[in-house]
Amino acid sequence: MPVELVYETHSISEDNEKGIATGWLPGKLSARGRHLAADLGARRRDDGIAAVFTSDLRRAVETAEIAFAGTSIEIIQDPRLRECDYGELNGCPVEVLAAERAMRVDVPFPGGQSYRDVVAATALFLNDLAATWQGNRVLVIAHSANRWALQVLLGGASLGDVVDAPFTWQEGWEFVIPTDRPIGESLRAPSGLPPFGARHNGST
């Protein structure tokens, strides 16, 4: 049976409000972001979610912890769900990053990753979900590059198109992960990611 995947972006961070592109830096939710994380929990706690998978970057983990505090829903951190590593541009102004984005679909940021690297890491994550969570509905809390990867791998979109598309926030994006065939089998994840699978539940 396929896996139902609901994607939600991490809540608003202090860097978001300051116009900073955080990348692989941890980030921290703002006061407004913490409020919106609680709203996320209110709409997803009773949505049939079997588990929550989140980037291990702090702003995503904090979103999940606030959203599912006091519940028994398991939260699983996975570094394959990290934002693109902007390398030397981690922490740069968003307008600097925006000027680079279209050039970094296949060519890595200096000292970092390309967006294609994020697609590769996401494909490995999705194949693991397909193998172990068949018939379940799961929530992913991550970053813009991960949403683009999902649109490419599960929606058939062009990476170049989604990277350049304007962003309109919404209350989640839904995808179906097939379990009868590999996803992105020709892709290879980048090296250097730390071990994945850190687990806890929303009650801690």
Confirm whether 200 is a catalytic residue: no
Separation of alpha carbons 126 and 29, rounded Å: 27
**Residue 85 labelled as part of a binding site:** yes
**Residue 128 labelled as part of a binding site:** no
Q: Which residue of the set 8, 65, 83, 143 is catalytic?
A: 83
Place of tokens 């996401």: 122
**Residue 14 labelled as part of a binding site:** no
**Residue 104 labelled as part of a binding site:** no
**Residue 23 labelled as part of a binding site:** yes
Contact between 5 and 179 (Cβ < 8 Å): no
**Residue 84 labelled as part of a binding site:** yes
Which H helix or E strand runs over 40? helix 31-44
Separation of alpha carbons 99 and 86, rounded Å: 13
Q: Which residue of the set 4, 8, 10, 65 is catalytic?
A: 10
**Residue 15 labelled as part of a binding site:** no
Q: Name residues whose C-beta falls within 8 Å of residue 99's C-beta, 6 or more positions apart in sequence.
A: none
Q: Of 183, 180, 103, which Cα lies nearest the Cα of 149?
A: 183
Confirm whether 35 is a catalytic residue: no
Q: Of 1, 6, 19, which Cα lies nearest the Cα of 137?
A: 6
Q: Which residues are catalytic?
A: 10, 83
Q: What are the binding residues?
A: 22-23, 59, 83-86
Q: What are the binding residues for substrate?
A: 22-23, 59, 83-86
